[in-house]
Chains A and B, each alone.
Chain A
Amino acid sequence: MAALIFVVSAIALLQFFISYCRSLIAASMKQPLSEEVRDVAGIPATASGDDFVRVIQLVHLCPDRPEDRGDLRAVGAYFRLLNIIRSTVARVIPSLVTWTELERNQCAYFAAVALDRRIAFSRDMLAQQMDS
């Protein structure tokens, strides 16, 4: 019985976690990327999953914003989960390759939006310091 509860809970955990991360990403998908971030992050038209790690490194170079720290961690964990799925289960189920690639692209877009916000945040901080 406990084993059954464990399996059910683990599957539910995975489903809720994926849906939660997608809700975080969906909230940022409506936000357009500034030209500046496109140039800095090297994202000309659409974000690719391969950009994610590089964009996250750029995000970590900016001053920390406590508001988006948790979301970035959650989406980072989701991105790693997608990589695991891509290199394991997706080899057996080919339709998952397209899905994981699409999700990875959206993770990269989410990271780029976070980078955009952090750049704007540091600019505001600098402006406040100059004023005072």
Chain B
Amino acid sequence: MLFSVLVSGLRYYMFTNFGWTSSQYKYCYYYSDAVLTIFLYLALITLYLQVFDEMKVEKYVRMAALLLLAGTALFSYGVVQQSSHRMVTNFVYELSQNLYFVGLVLTYILWGAILKLRETRIQLIQFVLSLGVYFSAFAATFAFKNVVSHNVVWFPYILQVLGGCLLPMAWAYAFLRLSPDARMVPARLAVVPR
């Protein structure tokens, strides 16, 4: 969260000094986005460790997470290496895009595990669900940009702004308003009844 605040400050500086369409702002946006996505990925892995705490599988979760991150980076490198002369920039964009989708899949699996293991901590449940909304909003945005032309920009930006606002607000709410010991039955939250 602290890094996110710093990045927002840096982006605002670039925006006010160089403008929305400048290459400086775009470089700053996409590079910082890649780093933020990696931080979020690590936050997601921490949530995995919390949910699987009692199973004593910490070592395996960390190892699998590192392998998946390395695999995603390699895949992204493989995609961009033949197609572009600006390889680092395209790699950063591709890595963010792929990490959002990997994050979405991992969050979905974690949500399934929460329902299966009957995890009842409200705070943890809200962290996972809001992260799920964030990852899926950004994954949908990137996929939408690839499906239609890059010129149709308003729809993806609306989703990104909504997703970008929701995550800090939802986490702040969960940190400030919910007690770490508060409990609920997660099965009641599933869209498909279990």
Contact = CB atoms under 8 A, between A and B. Distances in A.
Q: Do A and B come from one complex?
A: yes
Interface of A: 2-3, 5-6, 8-10, 12-20, 22-24, 26-27, 67, 70-71, 74
Interface of B: 101, 104, 107-108, 111, 122, 125-126, 129-130, 132-133, 136-137, 139-140, 143-144, 146-147, 166, 169-170, 172-173, 176-178, 182, 184, 188-191
A49 to B, nearest CB: 18
A95 to B, nearest CB: 11
Nearest to A4: B143
Given A6-B147, A10-B140, A74-B166, A19 B178 contact: no
12 contacts: A5-B139, A9-B137, A12-B139, A15-B132, A16-B133, A16-B136, A19-B189, A23-B122, A26-B184, A26-B188, A70-B170, A70-B172
Contacts, number: 83
Contact of A12 (B108, B144, B146, B184): B108
Given A26-B188, A74-B166, A20 B129 contact: yes
Nearest to A2: B146
Nearest to B129: A20
B144 A13 contact: no
A23 B189 contact: yes
A70 B167 CA distance: 10
Given A8-B104, A27-B182, A70-B166, 14 more contacts: A2-B147, A5-B101, A6-B144, A9-B136, A10-B140, A14-B191, A15-B191, A16-B107, A16-B111, A19-B129, A19-B190, A23-B125, A26-B188, A27-B178
